[in-house]
Structure 1
Amino acid sequence: MVTGATGGIGEAVARRLAARGATVVLVGRSDARLDRARRRILAAVPHAELRTERADLSLLSEVRELAARLGEQPPPDVVVSNAAVIAPPDDVTSEGLQRTLATNYLAPYVLLRSLVGPIGGRRARFVVVGASPTVLARFPVDVHDPAAAPGGRRPAPGLKAFTCYARSKNMNTMLVHALADRLKGSRITVNGAHPGIIKGTGIGEDSLGALKSLSPLLNPFFPGPDVGADTPAWLATSPETEHVTGRFYVKRRQATTAPHTTDPARCDTLWIRTAELTGLPPSL
């Protein structure tokens, strides 16, 4: 299963997995976009076995419904959590959550946790698509209040939006460590991957100011989604990583992330605060 599979890196990952013979569940928030992505993948991989699941991952109610539907079937043995947005800090969902936080971090937290039970003793791989460890080192998370808005001396709206995004991606990295630690002894692995700075993802469509105006200028110099799909798809399928868990990769190489993303106490605190925020018990 691949979230955010209606374009960009997610679609490219889904296409790679389908080409390897996997039955791939495409997750997106629009039936029309899901259908177009399915058609594009079939044009490239005519034998592809594809299913679609519509869910708006910014709404935790829909994330829970998605997990419940998947739990009623043989659950996926690979989950690539790829869906992400950069939304303005004041963009709040109908559930009262900032959209970037909900989509990028709370959704995979709830979805992956919810799939652990149905997967049970089977072998499975969770791959969480993150961002540049170097850039993210400058954006530590307030683990006691993960929903806190960016502060500072009146930063520009675009910078605030990027700060929300960067923190959510650091939370993804911390989720990898916290969930992998809690799954020790199981047959489920959890790893993170930075796909690179990739053009054509549409991730900054809702961003503001300089962040949005710079994107078209920089895009021609960035590689496309196929390059971004390489490390996540490799983590999902490679025999080399079958038993590896709790690690983060860049260009198929294990990378070190900032100490504030790997500290066990910080990761545990964020896990507990997120459980409270999402209404889940702290214990997995």
Structure 2
Amino acid sequence: MSELAVVTGASGGIGEQIAAGLARTGAAVVLVARDRTRLEQARGRIRDAVPGAELETEPVDLANLAEVRSLADRLAERAPSIVVSNAAVIAPLDDRTPDGFHRSLVTNHLAPYLLLRRLADHPTARPRRLVVVGASPRGLARVPVDLDDLNVEDGRGLGFPPSFRPFVAYARTKNMNAMFVYALASRLAGTGTTVNGAHPGIISGGRLNRHGRGALKVFGSLCDLFAAGTDAGADTPVWLATSEEVEGVTGTFFVKRRAVETAPHTTDPHRVERLWRESARLVGLPAGAEPRGPGAEPTPLLP
């Protein structure tokens, strides 16, 4: 039976290339994204590039936590051995979901938090790799998460000009990704499940900045001039999900296949734990087990 892999944000860009890369290894791949039409088009392109690929689609709006819970329940029954959380968006600050959350917060952080937590509490018969696609540790060092304003209610510290503030809010969620990797990896130590983060590089050909206006739109256009293609962006996530070189490695962040340190504000244990607990509250989960050190006995994340 083929290994089962799941990729979110797989209807184009880096996510589509990650899915294609996993399909080339022989894995059966579940493509997750909001737009059903674009998902089917991506599946067609991957099948053309990887004849015989086993592909499924899951049209799910990752900004809708109820849909994320349902997806997690469906996938948990099938025990995927690879999950790559890739979906992300730079949303206007007034773009709020029906639950009242900023769309970037939900899509980029709360959705992977909820999905991977629920999957992680279902044991698998084989080793499992969870990969979270983040962003440049160097670029994010100056934008620590505001733990008192995760939902950007008052917009403290988002800077000037106003048109660039959605990018700063997005950058905070990417630091949340790294913090989540460390928190989840510590809780899953010794379980056979590894959790790592990856920066794909500055990539062109995606739809991350599709809502960009003013200074943010100009910034995105300038970045595209020097950006690599989506195949380059997929390289490190696919490598983390499949390579024997990183077998057993967990709680680490990678850039171009190299382990790197992220900013101190992303590794501070008190900040990491506070983000974990506040995220649990926002998605309606208990905080669950405390972090564990190496060699500790596995315990459930959920009571």
| TM superposition score normalised by structure 1 | 0.96
Letter aligned with residue 205 of structure 1: R
| TM superposition score normalised by structure 2 | 0.90
Whether the 8 Å contact between 2:79 and 2:124 is mirrored in structure 1 is: no
Q: CA shift at 1:121, angstroms?
A: 5.5
Q: Secondary structure at the match of 1:119?
A: coil
1:235 and 2:235 matched = no
Whether the 8 Å contact between 1:121 and 1:187 is mirrored in structure 2 is: no
Q: CA shift at 1:153, angstroms?
A: 8.2
Specify which of 157, 166, 172 is matched with residue 177 of structure 2: 172
Q: Spell out the pairing of 1:6-85 with structure 2 (5 A cutoff).
A: 6-72=11-77, 74-85=78-89
Whether the 8 Å contact between 2:159 and 2:165 is mirrored in structure 1 is: no
Whether the 8 Å contact between 2:8 and 2:84 is mirrored in structure 1 is: yes
Question: Structure 2: how far apart are the matches of 1:157 and 1:83?
Answer: 24
Specify which of 112, 137, 143 is matched with residue 139 of structure 1: 143
Q: Secondary structure at the match of 2:168?
A: helix
Whether the 8 Å contact between 1:88 and 1:208 is mirrored in structure 2 is: no
CA displacement, residues 14-48 of structure 1 (integer Å, 9 cap, x when unaligned): 00110111100000111111110000000101111
Structure 2, unmatched stretches of 5+, are 1-5, 289-300
1:199 and 2:204 matched = yes
Q: Secondary structure at the match of 1:118?
A: coil
Q: How many corresponding residue pairs?
A: 283
Q: Secondary structure at the match of 1:6?
A: coil
Letter aligned with residue 168 of structure 1: T
Structure 1, unmatched stretches of 5+, are none
CA displacement, residues 98-145 of structure 1 (integer Å, 9 cap, x when unaligned): 000000000000000010122345410000000000110010012244
Q: Secondary structure at the match of 1:53?
A: strand
Whether the 8 Å contact between 2:253 and 2:260 is mirrored in structure 1 is: yes
Report the structure, 1 or 2, having the larger helix content: 1
Identity %: 57
Question: Structure 2: how far apart are the matches of 1:273 and 1:99?
Answer: 17
Q: Spell out the pairing of 1:122-137 with structure 2 (5 A cutoff).
A: 122-137=126-141
**Root-mean-square deviation (Å):** 1.4
CA displacement, residues 133-182 of structure 1 (integer Å, 9 cap, x when unaligned): 01100100122442234324862233210111000000000000000011
Letter aligned with residue 70 of structure 1: L
